[in-house]
């Protein structure tokens, strides 16, 4: 039996990169996946791929910074599948702008998409997990949420806040058998990082930071998400799991 059989999972930002791999893997392992993304065509393509492989999934257009959208997505999930077991708050943006050059509008955009979305996702998902006598929430942070990085103040602030919001929720909702953990990807090859990974100078800098001599793959982040989504991690909550090839070991 696959380890996610009969579980219902929402994955945000599932149209590409890590979110796509997370949605594909959870479905492969038996989950019914609600895949959401601001890019409706992209996430619909992922759902078609899941269905073609014999999996179960539905797609929704979703602005994760919108409270109205979250209410709709969670309500549709319950209407379609009757429950919610897993929430993967994956959607996010990178904004590599120096702190002094960052506008208030840019700051608010990064915080809304990277942090407020996590708050909203948990706010509207947790009551259904309480009804369900348990659940698992995985919030995708970053190694930037563990240590400071140059030239990305808003991003680092948002990802650090995701880490601590995760811990607060883990403490608050452990009594309901709801587990809340954060995953901290390092230098992962995705469409969002392509311009850096494909730049030889940047690539060499990435490799100088890692213990393992390569950049990571989105599928490797998905494996960590699968573990934390499943009952294999049933006594793990409030932790931060780096998937970073050893960057934060230094």
Mean of all residue pLDDT scores within the chain? 95
- Longest alpha-carbon distance in the chain: 53
In a domain, 210, yes or no: no
* Residue range 96-154, pLDDT digits in tens: 788 899 999 999 999 999 999 999 999 999 999 999 999 999 999 999 999 987 668 89
- In order of 27, 186, 234, the CA distances from 197 in angstroms are 28, 12, 35
The pLDDT of residue 94: 87
Domain encompassing residue 31:
8-188+217-249
In a domain, 120, yes or no: yes
In a domain, 207, yes or no: no
In a domain, 69, yes or no: yes
Looking at the 3D structure of the chain, how many domains does it have?
1
In a domain, 82, yes or no: yes
In a domain, 206, yes or no: no
Share of the chain above pLDDT 90, in %: 87
* Residue range 176-196, pLDDT digits in tens: 999 999 999 999 998 877 777
Kindly state the helix (H) or strand (E) to which residue 107 belongs, with its residue range: helix 104-111
What CATH number has the domain bearing residue 126? Answer: 3.40.50.720
In a domain, 157, yes or no: yes
Token pair, residue 39, equals 């890019």
What is the DSSP secondary structure assignment for residue 113, as one 8-state letter?
Answer: I
In a domain, 167, yes or no: yes
Q: Is the pLDDT of residue 13 over 90?
A: yes
- Contact indicator for 205, 147 with CB cutoff of 8 Å: no
Question: Using 50, 70 and 90 to split pLDDT, how confident is the model at 1?
Answer: low
Token pair, residue 243, equals 């998937």
Token pair, residue 88, equals 């993967």
Question: Using 50, 70 and 90 to split pLDDT, how confident is the model at 49?
Answer: very high
Q: Which residues are part of the catalytic machinery?
A: 155
20-32 average pLDDT score: 98
Token pair, residue 68, equals 């109205």
β 32-37/135-140 pair status: unpaired
The pLDDT of residue 212: 96
The pLDDT of residue 198: 82
């Amino acid at each position: 039996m696959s380890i996610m059989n009969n579980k219902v999972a929402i994955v945000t930002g599932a149209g590409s990169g890590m979110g796509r791999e997370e949605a594909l893997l959870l479905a492969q392992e038996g989950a019914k996946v609600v895949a959401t993304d601001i890019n409706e065509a992209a996430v619909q393509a992922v759902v078609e791929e899941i269905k073609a492989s014999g999996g179960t999934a539905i797609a929704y257009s979703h602005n994760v910074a919108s409270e109205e959208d979250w209410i709709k997505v969670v309500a549709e999930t319950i209407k379609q599948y009757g429950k919610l077991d897993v929430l993967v708050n994956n959607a996010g943006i990178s904004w590599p702008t120096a702190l002094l050059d960052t506008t208030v509008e840019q700051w608010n955009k990064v915080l809304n998409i990277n942090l407020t979305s996590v708050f909203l996702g948990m706010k509207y998902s947790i009551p259904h997990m309480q009804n369900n006598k348990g659940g698992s929430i995985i919030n995708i942070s970053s190694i930037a949420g563990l240590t400071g990085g140059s030239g990305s103040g808003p991003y680092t602030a948002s990802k650090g806040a995701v880490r601590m919001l995760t811990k607060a929720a883990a403490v608050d909702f452990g009594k309901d058998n709801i587990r809340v953990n954060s995953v901290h990807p390092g230098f992962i090859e995705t469409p969002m990082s392509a311009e850096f990974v494909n730049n030889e100078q940047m690539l060499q800098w990435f490799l100088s930071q890692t213990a393992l001599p390569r950049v990571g793959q989105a599928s490797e982040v998905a494996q960590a998400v699968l573990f934390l989504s499943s009952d294999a991690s049933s006594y793990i909550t409030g932790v931060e799991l780096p998937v970073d090839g050893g960057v934060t070991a230094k």
